[in-house]
Structures are given as structure tokens and as C-alpha cells.
Amino acid sequence: MKRPAVVSVLLMFWVLVVDATLMAQEIVALAPVVPFPEAAAGSTSGGAAPQPANPLAQYAPVITESLRITLTNAGFNVRTVNTPENFPGIWQEAKAAGAKIVVFGTAALAEDRLVIQLSAYEVNSRQIISGSVTNGRIDLSLYNTIDAAVGELSSKMLAWVTNSPLTELRANGSFLRSLSLQSADEGARVYLAGGELLGTIKGGKFTTSRLSVPIGSTISVEKRKAGYISQWETIRITRAEEKVTLSALWPVTTIATDLMWTLGFPVGGGIGLRFFPKPDWIFVGLNYNLSVQPATFGGGNSATHFLMYGGLGAYLFWGPTSHFRFSVSAGYGASTTYLAVPGAGSFLDGYISFLNPTFYANFRRFYGFVRTNFWFVVPSSNGLLAEGDVGNHGAPPVTFGVGYKW
């Protein structure tokens, strides 16, 4: 079977600059569609028959002209510019032109279909504001496909300009002049959408004047630091010289310690240590518990229990920065029981601990939890519990605890 021949080309770049009018008289710099050189067919090799012309070489000018006409009819001021040599160059060209929006796209051939993808981005934040994806057969109907793709993008661009804070702020030109970010995460790096480094926290803060966004708008930044969980944060611009305190990053958890108490054992408690082979998600746990079960009847005897348990567990559903988390675990443990009866000796019961659903109230360093312990007692020659019992002769024990993440 013939493999689809997919040819990707740089389709177009254009930039949208704020005009001083009340309507959407925006300047659009439009780069003509340029197929890859090797795709501009019509060449021959040796004595082989001429290869058929690449349809992109034919339809690229059609798409370019459709863009120019459609955007002009929508009220944009279209200007033709040269295509940059590489994709990252579009951001520098857009900023040099004072542009606020950049739009780029791709076209690809897959057998007898042409796929067109157009996207519009805000230059400073590199956040997407609109897009259009369509495809059609390479025949006469393709002209309708091109018009539909360009028309959809133009409508979305016009709607964004009309509804964006830029419309309200054109008259007075109220834009951000400087942004000061304060953070307790010394050395953390702050990135814009798209991966561009905005700055690094030094001395608890950094200030930048690179952004020129309208007052009343928002920008999203990503905070990264080794040993901490990367997080996104949205900043609202309320004044020309904005100062914002970033929320603290959450540490990556590789070790956690627990203090716990089990319902039904009023005297005593336990400690736990968890190691995370996959930080914040998969853990190996070791628990040790000492508790006293007092006599319940006159003349009865109290019992002291030493429990040791090891198992493997994993968090499910919610991420490490969620204030609510859930995990399950399974493993094996042993319980040594001493009765307060002279000469009674000790009893050893082994048990399989399975499922153990645990709910957490999760915070940056601390957490609280409640766990239901499902225990299945295994045969023992010196045991106190009957084989197969789940829990201590009744409902499964419930454990309450608190923990600390290192």
C-alpha cells in the first residue's frame, strides 16, 4: 500500500497591532505562503518522467490572496511582509513591529487532501487567542475549503479584538509598564506560555518591563524550581506598575513520615515512614504501631499489640497540589499480642493488608488522613485471631493520622 505523502509547509505569519480608533482597524502583516523547496515539484531526475507539480505551489498564492481579501473585508489593515527564515524569528519580528498579535499556520498534503491549520497568538504572553483547522479534497471544492478556513479565523480574530480589554483601553493607552514579582522560592524561574523565560527570582523578587499588556487583562506564568512541583499561576494586571506576590511552590515529595492512631485502641499510637520511588505518586510504606486494648469486662485482661506492616501504595485521581487526595495500598504485616495474664506468653498473627483506601487533607508540607484497614489473617500455629478474620473480630479498623513531607 502506498504510504501517504505528507508535506508540511510554513503557511503564513501576520501580526495584529492596536490602532487608535474605536473600531477594529487593526494592522495585519501578512507573509505569503511558501512551500518547502523540495515540495515545489515539477523537477526531473535523470531520465525519469517529470514528477507532477505539487498542488501547494498552486494553491499557496490562492490561500494568501484569500487571507488578504477576507481580513481586509473584516476591517483589518493588511500589509505584506517577508517570511522569516525560522519560526522563532516571528516573535522578534512581531515585537519589532510593535505587534500585539501574531498568527501563523501550516498546510500539509495527505494523499488527495489538503489540511490547513491557522492559529492566532498574543505576542507578549504567547497565549493562543483563536485558531482554525480544516481540510478538503484537492479539486474545485478546495476553494470553498480555503474560504471557510480563512473566514473562520478572521471571525474569531475580530471577536477577540472586539471583546478584549484592548478595545476599552485604546482611547487612553493604559498598558503595563513594569511587573514586579515577589516570591519566597529563591532561584525559581518564571516562564511565559510557550516556554520563554521571563525572569529568575533573586533576592526574593525580580522586575521586568518586557511585557506591554493592557490594564485589566491577565497573563499566565509557569514557576519552575528544582526539587519543587512546577505550577501555573494567573496574574491580573490592575495598574501600570504591577506588584504581585507569587504563591509558594510545593516541594516534590520523596519521603514522608506519619503519626497515627487507630480507632478501638484508645491507648497507644503508631509511626510510619514512606519512600516514593515515583515522587508524589507511588510509595513504599513501613508502619509500626503499639497499642493497648484495655479489659472490657470485670475480671478481664488487657492486651498489648505490637504491629509491623510493610506495603506498596499509589495515589489515584488527584494531583500532588490538590487539597484532597486518595490512595490505595497493599502489603503484609504481623501482630504480636501480649495478654496481661501470668504465664500466657505471646501470640503472633500474620495478616495480608489489602486495598486500604486512604483519604488525605493535603497541604504544602503537612497532611491529615483517615484510612480503613482491611486485614486478612493468615494461618498461624501461635495465633490469637481466627484464620480469615478481617480486622480485629469486627469492622475493619480505622486509622487517623497526620504526616509531614520532606
CATH number for position 363:
2.40.160.20
CATH of residue 213: 2.60.40.10
Q: SS3 for 130?
A: strand
Flag whether pLDDT at 156 surpasses 80.
Answer: yes
Q: How confident is the model at residue 347 (pLDDT cuts 50, 70, 90)?
A: confident
Length of the chain (residues): 406
Flag whether pLDDT at 20 surpasses 80.
Answer: no
Q: How confident is the model at residue 8 (pLDDT cuts 50, 70, 90)?
A: very low
**Same domain, yes or no: 161 and 212:** no
**Same domain, yes or no: 294 and 239:** no
Residue at which a domain ends, from 112, 145, 169: 169
**Cα–Cα nearest to 129, from 163, 173, 89:** 163
**Cα–Cα nearest to 353, from 323, 383, 310:** 310
**Same domain, yes or no: 14 and 160:** yes
Give residue 10's pLDDT. Answer: 36
| Domains contained in the chain, number | 3
What is the b/e burial string over 359-393, where b = at least 16 CB atoms within 10 angstroms of the residue's CB?
ebebeeeebebebebbbebeebeebbbeeebbbbe
Q: Are 81 and 29 in contact (CB under 8 A)?
A: yes
What's the mean pLDDT in 82-96? Answer: 67
Q: Which of 49-58, 118-127, 185-194, 241-250 has the highest mean pLDDT?
A: 241-250
Flag whether pLDDT at 45 surpasses 60.
Answer: no
Q: Are 333 and 354 in contact (CB under 8 A)?
A: no
Q: How confident is the model at residue 390 (pLDDT cuts 50, 70, 90)?
A: low
Residue 39: inside a domain: yes
**Same domain, yes or no: 345 and 271:** yes
Give residue 402's pLDDT. Answer: 97
375: which 3 cell numbers? 486485614
What's the mean pLDDT in 114-135? Answer: 75
Q: Are 11 and 106 in contact (CB under 8 A)?
A: yes
Residue 250: inside a domain: no
Give residue 26's pLDDT. Answer: 61
Q: How confident is the model at residue 345 (pLDDT cuts 50, 70, 90)?
A: confident
Flag whether pLDDT at 82 surpasses 50.
Answer: yes
**Same domain, yes or no: 234 and 261:** no
Residue 268: inside a domain: yes
Q: What are φ and ψ of residue 44, in 5° steps?
A: -125, 160
- Residues 295-323: tens digit of each pLDDT: 754 456 778 889 899 999 999 999 999 99
**Same domain, yes or no: 295 and 238:** no
**Same domain, yes or no: 199 and 60:** no
Q: How confident is the model at residue 227 (pLDDT cuts 50, 70, 90)?
A: very high
Residue at which a domain ends, from 205, 221, 245: 245
**Same domain, yes or no: 159 and 17:** yes
Q: SS3 for 169?
A: helix
Q: Are 257 and 286 in contact (CB under 8 A)?
A: no
Flag whether pLDDT at 188 surpasses 60.
Answer: yes
Q: Please give the single-letter amino acid code of residue 285.
A: G
Give residue 35's pLDDT. Answer: 57
Flag whether pLDDT at 104 surpasses 50.
Answer: yes
Residue 213: inside a domain: yes
**Cα–Cα nearest to 170, from 17, 376, 378:** 17
How many C-beta neighbours within 10 Å does residue 144 have?
10
Residue 1: inside a domain: no
Residue at which a domain ends, from 117, 151, 169: 169
**Same domain, yes or no: 208 and 302:** no
Flag whether pLDDT at 346 surpasses 70.
Answer: yes
**Same domain, yes or no: 266 and 396:** yes
232: which 3 cell numbers? 501555573
Residue 330: inside a domain: yes
Q: Which of 24-38, 96-110, 361-375 has the highest mean pLDDT?
A: 361-375
**Same domain, yes or no: 89 and 70:** yes
**Same domain, yes or no: 163 and 23:** yes
Q: Which of 35-39, 281-285, 294-298 has the highest mean pLDDT?
A: 281-285
Q: Are 357 and 372 in contact (CB under 8 A)?
A: yes
Q: What percent of the chain has pLDDT over 90?
A: 30
Taking phi first (over 0 means left), then psi (-120 to 50 degrees means alpha), and beta for anything else, what does residue 49 get?
beta
Q: Are 360 and 326 in contact (CB under 8 A)?
A: yes
Residue 278: inside a domain: yes
Q: How confident is the model at residue 403 (pLDDT cuts 50, 70, 90)?
A: very high
Give residue 278's pLDDT. Answer: 95
DSSP-derived secondary structure for 226-270 = TTB--EEEEEE--SSEEEEEPPPPPBPPSEEEEEEEETT--EEEE
Q: How confident is the model at residue 166 (pLDDT cuts 50, 70, 90)?
A: low
Q: What angle do CA 157, 110, 105 make, to 5 degrees?
A: 20
> Structure pTM?
0.54
Residue 48: inside a domain: no
Flag whether pLDDT at 77 surpasses 70.
Answer: no
Report the C-alpha gap between 215 and 22 in whole angstroms. Answer: 17
Helices (H), 74-200: 89-96, 142-163, 165-169
- Which domain range does residue 126 map to? 6-43+53-169
Place of cell 493520622: 401
Give residue 328's pLDDT. Answer: 96
Mean pLDDT of the chain: 77
